[in-house]
Amino acid sequence: MSSPAPALTMLSDEETAFAEALASFFEEQVGPHVARMDEAQQMEASLLPMFFEMGLMGIEVPESMGGAGGNFFLSILVIEAAAVVDPAVSVLIDVQNTLVINALKRWGSDEQQARLLPKLARDVVGAYALSESSSGSDAFALRCRAEADGDDWLISGNKLWITNANEADLFLVFANMDPSQGYKGITAFIVERGMEGFVVGKKEDKLGIRASSTCELIFDKVRVPAANVLGPVGKGYKVAIETLNEGRIGIGAQMVGLAQGALNASIKYAKVREQFGQPIAKFQAIEHQIAQAATDIEAARLMVYNAARLKDAGQPFIHQAAMAKLFASQVAERVASVAVDIHGGNGFTREYPVEKFYRDSKIGKIYEGTSNMQLSTIAKALLR
């Protein structure tokens, strides 16, 4: 019995080599820090410069702007590979690539792209600030306000649960400039750390992905120049919807990687843990649990890869992305739970990695659209 490889038959030779190199990199460079980062609730400082140097923080940024010049699918491979070792690291890379950079590439002006994409590829972390206390699944019930002041805008309000907030220097912020227009008043703004009146607030003490920072953002009449409006005024809802549709594929990849990490740990443990005079891997009950987990992971992986390929091909992918996130998050939670079971009492301790995978898995059904929201998206596509 050996650890199942990713679906390499779906990959080109170049993608296969890339995936294998990523697996080695994350295992060697991130693996030794995972437990300590989780305990400290803080990313290891030496990792971010390494990620930038490797090109992992600007995968779709053109080479002419200092990026890797890759496509969306390569971003998915990176997110998956990182999550096999640490889902907290994976989501940091995920938000940078599938949300922040994708939004700037799709909606940014030539000036904004020339000014910001090289920074994001070189040394600047980005964050995506949509959620508020009143707007979770109802993403457009925003209370954060943007008031015109000459050619500038003044942003006031709060954002909650913002991933990468501690590390980020660039924030894509959604605020409503005219509540009477409902969601049609929502506009996207580029806010940079250091702008007067902008404060990164308290960091959440979370169940899982604890090394990934999740913070409140506070805006007190933060002056944002017109040059920092992302997309047309009043079209922020389109920026948000289209970006999140792509981001869900990234979360699906994160959950696939997480499940694979939990399964790898279980296979390794089952081979060395002995009961009744033989490794527990020899017992059919364990064999069947591992076989079912591997099958579920492969199915989820194929769904994620399919959605990513569709996106890169310019084909419709929205309900495939929703299916991929829905199913991959279910698989991740289920496989991580089985992994704890296989480890028995050891699985309930922090000495082994599976309890962390189990804690980390829960967020997959919640962020970037809950499972219920994915079901609604899928149903609308099928029943329209």
Q: Are residues 85 and 132 in the same domain?
A: no
Q: Is the pLDDT of residue 381 over 70?
A: yes
Q: Are residues 195 and 308 in the same domain?
A: no
pTM of the entire structure?
Answer: 0.96
Domain finish residue from 193, 216, 234:
234
Q: Are residues 121 and 138 in the same domain?
A: no
Q: Are residues 158 and 229 in the same domain?
A: yes
Q: Please give the tally of structural domains in the chain.
A: 3
Determine, yes or no, domain membership for 2.
Answer: no
Distance, in Å, from the CA atom of 319 to the CA atom of 321, rounded to the nearest integer, reads 5
Q: DSSP letter for 320, please.
A: H
Q: Is the pLDDT of residue 356 over 60?
A: yes
Q: Are residues 197 and 260 in the same domain?
A: no
pLDDT digit string, tens, across residues 272-283: 999 999 999 999
Q: Is residue 138 very low, low, confident or very high in pLDDT (cuts 50, 70, 90)?
A: confident
* Sign (positive or negative) of CA dihedral 35, 57, 305, 188: positive
Q: Are residues 254 and 326 in the same domain?
A: yes
Determine, yes or no, domain membership for 191.
Answer: yes
Q: Are residues 147 and 178 in the same domain?
A: yes
383: left (phi over 0), alpha (psi -120 to 50) or beta: alpha
Q: Are residues 79 and 215 in the same domain?
A: no
pLDDT the model gives residue 9: 54
Q: Indicate which residues carry an active-site annotation.
A: 368
CA angle, 372 then 209 then 66, to 5°: 100
* Sign (positive or negative) of CA dihedral 275, 281, 284, 288: positive
Determine, yes or no, domain membership for 3.
Answer: no
Q: Are residues 347 and 242 in the same domain?
A: yes
> Which pair of tokens denotes residue 376?
């609604």
Determine, yes or no, domain membership for 331.
Answer: yes
pLDDT digit string, tens, across residues 217-249: 999 999 999 999 999 999 999 999 999 999 999
pLDDT the model gives residue 1: 39
Domain finish residue from 219, 234, 249:
234
Q: What is the CATH number of the domain that holds 183?
A: 2.40.110.10
Q: Is residue 4 very low, low, confident or very high in pLDDT (cuts 50, 70, 90)?
A: very low
Q: Is the pLDDT of residue 187 over 80?
A: yes
Q: Are residues 258 and 358 in the same domain?
A: yes
How far apart, in Å, are the Cα atoms of 252 and each of 94, 164, 326, 369, 371? 10, 19, 8, 11, 12
Distance, in Å, from the CA atom of 239 to the CA atom of 71, rounded to the nearest integer, reads 20
Q: Is the pLDDT of residue 206 over 50?
A: yes
Determine, yes or no, domain membership for 133.
Answer: yes
Q: What is the CATH number of the domain that holds 28?
A: 1.10.540.10
pLDDT digit string, tens, across residues 18-58: 999 999 999 999 999 999 999 999 999 999 999 999 999 99
pLDDT digit string, tens, across residues 257-300: 999 999 999 999 999 999 999 999 999 999 999 999 999 999 99
pLDDT the model gives residue 136: 79
Q: Is residue 2 very low, low, confident or very high in pLDDT (cuts 50, 70, 90)?
A: very low
Q: What is the CATH number of the domain that holds 343?
A: 1.20.140.10
pLDDT digit string, tens, across residues 47-67: 999 999 999 999 999 999 999
pLDDT the model gives residue 139: 74
Distance, in Å, from the CA atom of 206 to the CA atom of 285, rounded to the nearest integer, reads 34
pLDDT the model gives residue 91: 98
pLDDT the model gives residue 81: 98
Domain finish residue from 202, 218, 234:
234
Q: Are residues 248 and 379 in the same domain?
A: yes
Domain that holds residue 302: 238-383
Q: Are residues 133 and 247 in the same domain?
A: no
pLDDT digit string, tens, across residues 145-173: 999 999 999 999 999 999 999 999 999 99
Determine, yes or no, domain membership for 202.
Answer: yes
Count CA within 13 A, CB hemisphere, residue 33. Answer: 21
pLDDT the model gives residue 137: 84
